[in-house]
Amino acid sequence: MASYSTNEFKPGIKVLLEGEPCAILENEFVKPGKGQAFNRVRFRNLKSGRVWERTIKSGESLEAADVLDLDMEYLYEDGEFWHFMKTDGSYEQLAAPASALAEARQWLKEQGVYQVTLWNDAPIAVSPPNFLDLEVVETDPGIRGDTAQGGTKPAKLSSGAVVKVPLFIEQGDVLRVDTRSGEYVSRAKSD
């Protein structure tokens, strides 16, 4: 199995840390007092998304993690798994467990393209695109002619997410939302 020595560490490298696939975010070489050198490393755990900080004796190695990011189209869920299809023309499908979906679960839209992270060919994480157009399926009636006034109300979107929207938004409107912040951006242009 390939591995990376501390002197090969740089941001973006994917390694196994305590059995978990991680991406290196930052690597700092420290060697005070002409003593033993250490690497202070920040990792992102690709399964949990959490940031781990570790001090590693320089010269140690970490096993490379077989991690791949793929753009895949969301198809459907069967109650246990969420099914995605490769966009490379192979029509190959993969089933992601709930643990891989995490936050992405409330941003799913059929035929939307998502980034699926594979570890040893199994999906471990799903990321939605930064911006998505989604339909309002539930909200209080709009207040027309009052677009200048501030104030917001909750609106439930077709994907399940609830976002704060301006008062003039109506059920059936299609909204552009920022999936990173969960914020309303605008009304999407109608086709």
Binding site for another protein (CB under 8 A): 7, 27-38, 54-58, 60
Nearer to another protein, 29 or 76 (CB): 29
Nearer to another protein, 17 or 188 (CB): 17
Give the integer Cα–Cα distance in Å for 115 and 103: 13
For the record, the structure tokens of 69 come out as 């990011």
Q: How far is the CB of 43 from another protein (least distance, A)?
A: 11
Nearer to another protein, 7 or 147 (CB): 7
Give the integer Cα–Cα distance in Å for 172 and 182: 19
Nearer to another protein, 35 or 145 (CB): 35
Q: How far is the CB of 23 from another protein (least distance, A)?
A: 17
Residue 120 CA neighbour count, 13 Å, CB half: 9
Q: How far is the CB of 12 from another protein (least distance, A)?
A: 14
Element of type H or E holding 188: none
Q: How far is the CB of 119 from another protein (least distance, A)?
A: 21
Nearer to another protein, 27 or 179 (CB): 27
Give the integer Cα–Cα distance in Å for 101 and 86: 17
Q: How far is the CB of 37 from another protein (least distance, A)?
A: 7
Residue 48 CA neighbour count, 13 Å, CB half: 9
For the record, the structure tokens of 25 come out as 């975010």
Give the integer Cα–Cα distance in Å for 191 and 179: 22
